[in-house]
């Protein structure tokens, strides 16, 4: 059974915080493969060569890969909380690297867990989250007199709308979650007495902005 949706991030981003004089820098990047994740990790290790720790976690959809490293921090206090945060948000196809410059004050086990988890959260917030839905591209073309009726039907469906094109006709580009495409077409056909022209395109994942939960 194919995956119908998953979450990921919009952009590469970083976020910084200080906890008891220790500096934490979370760098987040979308990746599609483990090779890409490891290449990015290597580049950050080179960039932050003088840091005491470069903790990481990544999740790749293909082959369901999940990896993490505490990178010298006490076991389970760094990579695990970063990975746990990604799993809590159901995030895929990304890597989070949290670089720590030690500030001279020990944080303790609980303090480390909280700091790395918070740092991962700040990095993901800076990158922004997307909900990726497996959608079918559908374009509805109609006369202006039918626009109100069609927009009313569209409002009843969970879908992604593109900008309407106004010419001698009205073209409404939409991305319909694939499992709802047939029902949507039937509804529009019925509501317009088959007067609207419906063109079905390709199926692909389409993203929309997702709010980050606590």
Per-residue pLDDT, averaged over 87-106, amounts to: 94
What are the tens digits of pLDDT across the range 155-168? 999 889 999 999 99
Domains defined for the chain, CATH in brackets: 5-127 (3.30.230.30), 131-210 (3.30.70.240)
pLDDT at 180 exceeding the cut of 60 = yes
What are the tens digits of pLDDT across the range 41-68? 999 999 999 999 999 999 999 899 999 9
Q: Contact at 8 Å (CB) between 129 and 45?
A: no
């Amino acid at each position: 059974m194919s995956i119908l949706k998953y979450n990921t991030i919009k952009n590469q981003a970083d976020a910084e915080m200080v906890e008891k004089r220790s500096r934490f820098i979370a760098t987040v990047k979308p990746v599609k493969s483990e090779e890409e994740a490891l290449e990015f990790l290597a580049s950050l290790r080179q960039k932050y060569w003088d840091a005491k720790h470069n903790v990481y976690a990544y999740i790749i959809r293909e082959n369901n890969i999940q990896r993490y490293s505490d990178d010298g921090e006490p076991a389970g206090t760094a990579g695990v909380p970063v990975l746990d945060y990604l799993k809590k948000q159901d995030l895929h196809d990304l890597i989070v690297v949290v670089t720590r410059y030690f500030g001279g004050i020990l944080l303790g086990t609980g303090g480390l867990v909280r700091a790395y988890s918070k740092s991962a959260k700040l990095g993901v917030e800076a990158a922004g989250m997307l909900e990726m839905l497996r959608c079918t591209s559908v374009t509805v073309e109609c006369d202006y007199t039918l626009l109100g009726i069609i927009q009313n039907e569209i409002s009843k469906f969970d879908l992604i709308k593109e900008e309407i094109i106004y010419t001698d006709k009205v073209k409404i580009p939409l991305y319909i979650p694939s499992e709802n495409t047939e029902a949507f077409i039937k509804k529009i056909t019925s509501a317009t007495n088959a007067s609207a022209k419906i063109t079905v395109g390709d199926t692909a994942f389409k993203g929309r902005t997702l709010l980050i939960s606590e």
